[in-house]
Amino acid sequence: MISIQNISKKYGAQQVLNKVNLEFSGGQSIALIGPNGSGKTTLIKSILGLVLADQGQINVQNQDISLGPDYRKIIGYMPQLSKFPEQMKVGQLFSLIKKIRRDIAQNEYDLSLYNDFGIAKMEGKSLGALSGGMKQQVSAALAFLFRPKIIILDEPTAGLDPISNSILKHKVNEARAQNCLLITTSHILNDLEEMCNHVVYLMDGKIVLNEEMKFIAETTGEANLNKMVIKFLQTGKIAKCKI
Partner 1 sequence: MQNISFSIAADLLKNKAIFIYGLLLAVLGWGMFLIESQPEKTILALLQITLIVVPLMTSIFATIYYYNSAEFIQLLLIQPLKRRSIIWGIFAGLSSGFVLSFLVGIGLPLLLFYPTTASLHLILSGTFLSVIFTGLALLVSTHQQDKARSIGFVLLLWIFFTFIFDGILLWAMYQLADYPIEQSILFGTFLNPVSVARTLVVMQTEAAALLGLSGAIFKDFFGSLKGSFIAMLILIIWGILPYLFVKRKFLTRDF
243 in contact with partner 1 (CB under 8 A): no
For the chain, what percentages of helix, strand and coil (3-state, to nearest 5) are there?
40, 25, 30
Does residue number 67 form part of the binding site for partner 1 (CB under 8 A)? no
Kind plus residue range of the DSSP H or E element containing 44? helix 40-48
Which listed residue (13, 62, 67, 103) binds partner 1 by CB under 8 A?
A: 103
The nearest distance, CB 72 to partner 1, in angstroms, is 4
Nearer to partner 1, 93 or 238 (CB): 93
Question: What is the end-to-end Cα distance of the chain in Å, rounded?
Answer: 19
Contact between residue 185 and residue 155 where contact means Cβ atoms under 8 Å apart: yes
Distance from C-alpha of 169 to C-alpha of 144, rounded to nearest angstrom: 13
Among 67, 100, 105, 239, binds partner 1 (CB under 8 A): 100
Query: Residue 228: CB partners within 8 Å, gap ≥ 6?
Result: 199, 213, 216, 217, 220, 222
Exactly one of 8, 15, 37, 72 binds partner 1 (CB under 8 A); that residue is 72
What's CA 182's distance to the chain center, in Å? Answer: 6
Answer yes or no whether residue 83 interacts with partner 1 by CB under 8 A.
yes
Under rule CB under 8 A, residue 108 binds partner 1 = no
CB of 219 to partner 1, least distance (A): 36
Query: Least distance from C-beta 120 to partner 1, angstroms?
Result: 20
Contact positions vs partner 1 (CB under 8 A): 45, 48-52, 68-73, 75, 77, 79, 83-88, 92, 96-97, 99-103
